[in-house]
Amino acid sequence: MNISQLLCTTALVTGCATQSGPATAPLQIQSQGSFAVGGVVQQTPGRYDNNQPTAAGQSFHGDHLYAFYQVPVQPKPLPIVMLHGAFQSSRSWESTPDGREGFQTLFLRRGFSVYLVDQPRRGRAGNSTVATAVEPTPNDQLFFDQFRIGQWPKRFDNVQFDPAPDTLNQFLRSITPNTGPYDAGVIADAMSALFSKVGPGILFTHSQGGGPGWLTAIRNPNVKGIVAFEPGSGFIFAQQDAPEPMPSAAGTLAPEIVPLVDFLKLTRIPIVIYYGDNFPTTPTAERGQDNWRVRLAMAQRWVAAINQHGGNAQLVHLPEIGVHGNTHFLMSDLNNREIADLVGQFLTAQQLD
Amino acid sequence: MNISQLLCTTALVTGCATQSGPATAPLQIQSQGSFAVGGVVQQTPGRYDNNQPTAAGQSFHGDHLYAFYQVPVQPKPLPIVMLHGAFQSSRSWESTPDGREGFQTLFLRRGFSVYLVDQPRRGRAGNSTVATAVEPTPNDQLFFDQFRIGQWPKRFDNVQFDPAPDTLNQFLRSITPNTGPYDAGVIADAMSALFSKVGPGILFTHSQGGGPGWLTAIRNPNVKGIVAFEPGSGFIFAQQDAPEPMPSAAGTLAPEIVPLVDFLKLTRIPIVIYYGDNFPTTPTAERGQDNWRVRLAMAQRWVAAINQHGGNAQLVHLPEIGVHGNTHFLMSDLNNREIADLVGQFLTAQQLD
C-alpha cells in the first residue's frame, strides 16, 4: 500500500470515505456513546426503608429518550438527529433488512455526526410514567400492506425490497412495542431537551415521528432543518389554514390545530418531505395503499400552508422525479443510497452541510 | 504530521490506538450494523382480509434478540458478545453514566469485534410472544442499595461512582422494563442462534445475564470463553454438586439443577467471574449488601464444582487483589479501564485474544 492509498483508506483526506468512496472504507469515529435526556422524576410519598423496601419514599425516572451518537473525524457543523416512527426504534436507521448500510452509517460516511433516538416509552427508553399492557399482536400481514411492500402475499412488481425470505423476517423483527401510551407532547419535550444538549442540528423523522418532529422545531430553535420521510400523522395547522378531514379506506385523517404563532415558527427553517411509490391517485378499497393517498394529500396542503406564510417547504413524491418502487421505509429500501444522495443534495442546497 | 504519527493516529499499526493510546484516537470501524436473530413466528388461524384486517390469518414475529455490531480494522479472531442484566439493555456497555467510554468502545480499541445484545423481551427486541403489564415501579432507592452505590441516601466512602447529580440521573435512566416475562431459556435459545451466526466468540455477561450465559455455552460450542461480571442468579449445578439454598436479608438464593452432562460442557472453556466491593462477610440486615453475600458464596461453590470436574474457572473478588470501591456495574465504574485491563490480561492468559 502506498501513501496515497493509505491516506484514502483511512479517510484523513476529506471525501475519500464519503459517498464517493467504496462502502468498505473504514469509518473514522472520533467519539461514540449513549445517554438519556429529558423525562421526569415521579416521587412516591412516604419514607424509604432500606431493609423492607416498598414503593413508599421511592422515586421513578421515566419518559426520557435514549440517544446513541457517533461523531466522525472532522465532522460537518450540524449533526443529524434521526427519530423513528411507530412500532420502530433506532433500528430503522441502522442496517437495512437485507443487511446493507442504513442512514446511520451512510450519513456518517458523508461527514455528519449522527444521533439515533429511541423515543420515550419505546426501545431502550422503556421507562414510562404511565402504565400499559404489552400484548403479542399479529400484524405482519397488515404491516406488509400498510408499509407498501405489496398487497399480501404479493409484492408490488417494482418494489425496492429484497425478495430473500430473511429480509422480510428481519424487517418484521425490527418491530418493537410501546411500553407506555404514545404521546407526541412527551416525545417533543424530550426531543427539545436533546436539541438543547446537542445544539444546532438537522432533524430526520420517519412516519409517526413526523408529528413530534414539527412540535420539536416549534419548541426549540436549534432545529435548523427537517427532512421528513413519509410523515403519517400529526399534521399541524393553524385553524385558518386547516383542511377538512380526509376519509380513506384506512380511516379518516384529520389535521391537528396549533396556534398560528407556533405554526409560523416552522416557516423559518427549510423542510423537505419525501413519499415513495404505489400510492393510488383516486380513492380505492385497498386499505394499505389508500391510507397513504390521504397522507400525501394532507402533506401537500401542509406544504402549501407553510409556503403561503413565507416558509421554505417542499414535497418530493419520488415517482414524479423518476424514482420508483419505494416502500414506506425509504431509508432502508434497496435504493437507499439514491435516496441519501437526494437528501444530500437538499442539505447542500439549503446550506445545511 | 509525519508518516509514523499518521500510522499511529489511524491505528493501522496494531496497538497504537488500543489501551496504550490516547482515548481520543479515532476508532477505525470496518463495518457496523444491527440485526435480529432467533425467536419464533406465531400464526393465528383463519384467512387474512387485506381490507378488513383482524388477527385472523396474521402472524407475529417475537422472542428474537437484537444485536448491534462493530468490527474494527484488523480485528482479533474472536469477537466479544456482551449480554446485559436485569432492568438493563445494551446501554450497560455503552457510555458510562458519567459519559466516559464503556466496554463497547474500550474493547473495540483493544481490537475486538463487539456485539451488543438486547435480550428477547427487552429494549429493541421488545416483541414478546407472551403478554405482560408494564407499570411505573418506583425502585430508584432500592437500586441504589442493591447495586451497591451505598446505603441510600449515603454513598459508600470508597465507591467508584461519580458524585455529580447527573451521573445518578443517567444511571437510573439506563433502566428499562421487560416487555414480556423473563425466561432464561428463551434468552439462551436466541443467544445460541447468535453464536451460530457469529461463529466462535467470547461471551461477557452482567448480573442476571449470567444464568442465560451458562445455558448459552451449554447449547453452543462456539462460546469459547465467558467473562461474568457479578452473576446474580441462575447458578446451575449438577444435582450431586448442588449446595443448600442460601438465605439472606434479600431472600433465599437456590441453585438450579441441570443434567451432569450439560454441566460438564462448562468445564471445557475458560471462565472468570468478577465481583466488586462492599460485600458483608457475615450475615447482616442490610438488604442491598446481604443480597450479594450469598451470591458471592454461591459463585465460589460454583467455581469449585467446575474445577472439581476438571474445568478452568476462577473467581476474582476485586478487593482481595487491591481493587476497591466497585459497584455492581464494574464495567461502567470510575475505574472501568482498570477492570478492562484485568479482563484483557485474562483473555491473553487464556489465549482468547
Asked if residue A299 is part of any domain, the answer here is: yes
At A151, list the grid cell. 398487497
Q: Is A221 left (phi over 0), alpha (psi -120 to 50) or beta?
A: alpha
Q: Specify which residues B312 forms β-bridges with.
A: B270
What's the mean pLDDT in A93-107? 98
Question: At A171, which amino acid appears?
Answer: F
With H, G, I as helix, E, B as strand and everything else as coil, classify residue A206.
strand
Residue A15 has what pLDDT? 34
At A56, list the grid cell. 413508599
The percent of residues above 70 in pLDDT, for chain B, comes to: 93
CA distance A132 to chain B (A): 5
Size of interface A-B (CB pairs under 8 A): 250
Those residues whose C-beta lies under 8 Å from the C-beta of residue A350, and which sit 6 or more positions away, are A225, A270, A312
Helix, strand, coil percent content, chain A, rounded in steps of 5: 35, 25, 45
Residue A199 has what pLDDT? 98
A105: enclosing H helix or E strand? helix A103-109
At A340, list the grid cell. 441519501
A7 pLDDT above the threshold of 60: no
Q: What value does the mean pLDDT of chain A take?
A: 94
For residue A198, the tally of other CB atoms under 10 A from its CB is 18
B4 pLDDT above the threshold of 70: no
Residue A4 has what pLDDT? 37
**Torsion angles phi and psi, residue B170, rounded to 5:** -60, -45
- C-alpha count within 13 angstroms, C-beta hemisphere, residue A53: 23
CA distance A22 to chain B (A): 12
Q: How many residues does chain A have?
A: 353
Check whether the bond before A280 is cis (ω within 30° of 0): no
Task: Find where cell 454441566 sits.
Answer: B263
Asked if residue B249 is part of any domain, the answer here is: yes
Residue A23 has what pLDDT? 52
B1 pLDDT above the threshold of 70: no
Q: Which of B301, B218, B226 is nearest to B258 (CA)?
A: B218
Residue A24 has what pLDDT? 74
CB-count exposure of residue B52 (10 Å: 0-12, 13-18, 19+): exposed
Q: Is A280 left (phi over 0), alpha (psi -120 to 50) or beta?
A: beta
- Residues on chain B touching A138 (C-beta within 8 angstroms): 42-44, 55, 58-60
Residue B11 has what pLDDT? 34
What's the mean pLDDT in B239-266? 98
> For residue B55, how far is the Cα from the chain centroid?
36
Question: Model confidence at A250, in pLDDT bands (50, 70, 90)?
Answer: very high
- Beta carbons of B69 and B197 less than 8 angstroms apart: no
Question: Model confidence at A194, in pLDDT bands (50, 70, 90)?
Answer: very high
Q: Specify which residues B115 forms β-bridges with.
A: B69, B81
A19 pLDDT above the threshold of 70: no
**What residue in A sits closest to B144 (Cα-Cα)?**
A50
**What residue in A sits closest to B71 (Cα-Cα)?**
A26
The answer to whether A137 faces chain B, any CB pair under 8 Å, is yes
B21 pLDDT above the threshold of 90: no
Asked if residue A8 is part of any domain, the answer here is: no
Residue A6 has what pLDDT? 39
Distance CA A330, CA A332 (A): 6
At B152, list the grid cell. 441510600
Asked if residue A137 is part of any domain, the answer here is: yes
B334 pLDDT above the threshold of 60: yes
Residue B198 has what pLDDT? 98
Question: What are the tens digits of pLDDT across the range B147-174?
Answer: 999 999 999 999 999 999 999 999 999 9
What's the mean pLDDT in A220-224? 98
The answer to whether A326 faces chain B, any CB pair under 8 Å, is no
| Host domain of residue A94 | 28-349
**For residues A37 and A10, which has the higher predicted lDDT (pLDDT)?**
A37
- C-alpha count within 13 angstroms, C-beta hemisphere, residue B101: 25
With H, G, I as helix, E, B as strand and everything else as coil, classify residue A73.
coil
Asked if residue A95 is part of any domain, the answer here is: yes
With H, G, I as helix, E, B as strand and everything else as coil, classify residue B82.
strand
Question: Model confidence at A17, in pLDDT bands (50, 70, 90)?
Answer: very low
Radius of gyration of chain B, Cα coordinates, nearest whole angstrom: 21
8-state DSSP, A161: S
Question: Does the distance separating the beta carbons of B44 and A287 come in below 8 Å?
Answer: no
Asked if residue A2 is part of any domain, the answer here is: no
What's the mean pLDDT in B321-333? 98
The answer to whether A187 faces chain B, any CB pair under 8 Å, is no
Asked if residue A286 is part of any domain, the answer here is: yes
Question: What are the tens digits of pLDDT across the range B198-207?
Answer: 999 999 999 9
**For residues A15 and A326, which has the higher predicted lDDT (pLDDT)?**
A326
A330 pLDDT above the threshold of 90: yes
Q: Which of A141, A27, A281 is nearest to B46 (CA)?
A: A141
Residue B23 has what pLDDT? 52
Q: Residues of A219-251 as b/e, b for ≥16 C-beta within 10 angstroms?
A: bbebbbbbbbbbbbbbbbbbeebbbeebebbbe
This model of the complex carries an ipTM of 0.93
DSSP string, B85-102: -TT--GGGGSS-TTS---
Distance CA B34, CA B47 (A): 33
Distance CA A188, CA B237 (A): 50
- Which CATH number does the domain housing residue B94 bear? 3.40.50.1820
Asked if residue B251 is part of any domain, the answer here is: yes
What's the mean pLDDT in B96-124? 98
The answer to whether A349 faces chain B, any CB pair under 8 Å, is no
Residue B17 has what pLDDT? 36
Residue A300 has what pLDDT? 98
Count the domains in chain A: 1
